[in-house]
Amino acid sequence: MARTVNIKDYHREQRLFLRRMVVASILIGLCAITLWTRLGLLQIARHDYYLELSQGNRARLEPIPANRGLILDRNGKVLAENLAAYQLELVREQVPDLTATLQGLAALQLIPRDEIEDIRRLVRSRRGFEGVPIRLRMSEEEIARFAVHRHQFPGVDIRTRLTRYYPNGALAVHALGYVAAIGEQDLTHIDRSAYAGTTLIGKLGVESAREKELHGTNGFREVLVNAQGRSVQKQGGFAPDLRSRAPKAGSDLILSLDLVAQQAAEEALRGRRGAVVALDPDNGDVLVFVSQPGFDPSLFGRGLTRAEYRNLETDANRPLLNRALRGTYPPGSTVKPVIALAGLKYGAVKPDDHRFCAGVYNLPGSSRLFREGRSGRHGSVDLQDAIAHSCDVYFYALANTLGVDHIAEFLEPFGYGKPTGIDISGEQSGILPSKEWKKHRFKRPADQIWFPGETVNFGVGQGYMTVTPMQQAHMVSVIAARGKSFKPRLVTGLRDPETKQATVIPPQRERDVDHVRPEDWETVFEGMKGTITRGTGRGMGTGASYTIAGKTGTAQVFTVAQNAKYVEKDVSELLRDHSWFVAFAPAEAPRIALAVLVENGGFGAAAAGPIARKVLDAYLLPRNTPEVKP
């Protein structure tokens, strides 16, 4: 008998289906809740955040570079400003053949032929639709030349921009510095976002030292772009409200330089290698800052070719060298007024003590003879006569009596052997020798011994001692101010470019030379005035309406053998003596103290002295433009 078998259990399947439906409904409900929660979070809770992201996808920030601050002299005359210039730009995607285009521009002498490969790499490193500057500054002749052939260069056009302009050319270039293209080294220490859209940065001088103030704050504007990053007016019918912020121009710098005196110094030194530095003894203001030869700073702003930079770098006259700060030379006889003060301080000499100068000094206990300079023999001289006539024999003996340690100790507060601290970079410290210095300077024990003959040379500014023209100006400024010492400075104030209101930067007082008696200052003053009236600089004050106190100096470039005689005409120019002159005026109430160096110029009074007189006249004599301090 057959049995009945149930193949399907409808009730069981229905219960299973219901359970699955419940689970699925729960899952769907959870997913729906999650979805709605997420939508609420995105569209409501975080609406502002994602709106900003969306804005960033459809709008690009384009920087608006700020105008660089002006640089003015102490009377408000412009030393550096910004002018519109024309630059050549190339858009790669519009250029059919990049290589042929660059070669064609080189054939027209619009770009250097030896820089074609560098320009090609620069263009290919940028997006194809962006304009790339391939020539930063064009002359009117070059603009006209390109305009005639414009149809031959699709994708290349002329654009305008502001560029740095120095209206006086190379004047004061080593004080001002220059601007040039931002390099890899600059990128390591600047905020790149702050320099977006900027191609130039300050190099050297105040352009570099005050880069932060001069640069200003860049602005920006939002530009609507498509998916490829190209600028468009609107997407579809939607024109968004785009943001923008105007740039804030950099602060104007007010320098201590006096343009009239600066021009006089540069003109007087033209054609020679040397430096002129003048300070105001009452506050350390740098009135004149000259290093010759110089160079046109605008060359760096437009971009130097390799050949142009190579010419500057290999020039035998070294125009890139800042001789005022980095040139180091023996001071020669210009150090004698300070040696005289040391002698009075330590009681090694009295003002009215006379010593006989027979033209030669014999170091006690030695057969070595130290000869007088060009003046031969002076007979019986006192301290003031020794300064006025620059008597080497007198100072040989005085230095030997003082000893090297007393000399070094006394000279240090006058700024020798260390940077003066001027507010631009690159200053050399020079050498203030001493027994301790020599022990550290040389490795061999035999070379570490200090010999008496070295002290004798020290007394006339020869031997190991070296100074910069800036140190020399600082030294004579301290003497002029009777011991008051200020840190030299070029920048005296900042001016707001909009309101034209100036903020004064106060001078920085340093440690005074307070261990000199008033009567000793007076003795040295009289000796330095005697230099001009009856000594080695006589005649320099002829016709002057003010009194000059000064000191000539002649620094040897090489050592003359004991039995040999120095004859300038028989010596190569580069081996001739350096010419120094330091001075301050008016002697009764000094307003200016200066140092003049002429490399290989020979006797100090002959080469450096007349330059100093022209600078003093330019600064002290009446002029039409009154001095206006910030």
Residue count of the chain: 630
Count CA within 13 A, CB hemisphere, residue 201.
Answer: 18
* Alpha-carbon span 29 to 314, nearest angstrom: 82
* Cα dihedral across residues 600, 606, 611, 613: positive or negative: positive
The DSSP-derived string for 277-333 is EEE-TTT-BEEEEEEES---THHHHH---HHHHHHHHH-TT-TTS-HHHH--B--GG
- The tokens of 328 are what? 């180091």
- What are the distances in angstroms from CA 431 to CA 415, 453, 555, 574? 11, 18, 15, 22
Instruction: Look at residues 423, 429, 521, 425 and name the one whose alpha carbon lies nearest to residue 471.
Output: 429
* Alpha-carbon span 615 to 261, nearest angstrom: 6
* Alpha-carbon span 402 to 386, nearest angstrom: 16
CA angle 529–530–536, rounded 5-degree value: 115
Specify whether the backbone of 172 is left (phi greater than 0), alpha (psi in -120 to 50) or beta. Answer: left
The DSSP-derived string for 9-62 is -HHHHHHHHHHHHHHHHHHHHHHHHHHHHHHHIIIIITHHHHHHHHHHHHEEEE
The CA dihedral of 286, 287, 291, 293, to the nearest 10 degrees, is 160
Give, as one character, the DSSP assignment of residue 559: P
Element (H, E) at 244: strand 244-245
- The catalytic residues are 333
The DSSP-derived string for 159-198 is EEEEEEE-TTTTTTHHHH-EEEE--HHHHTTS-GGGGTT-
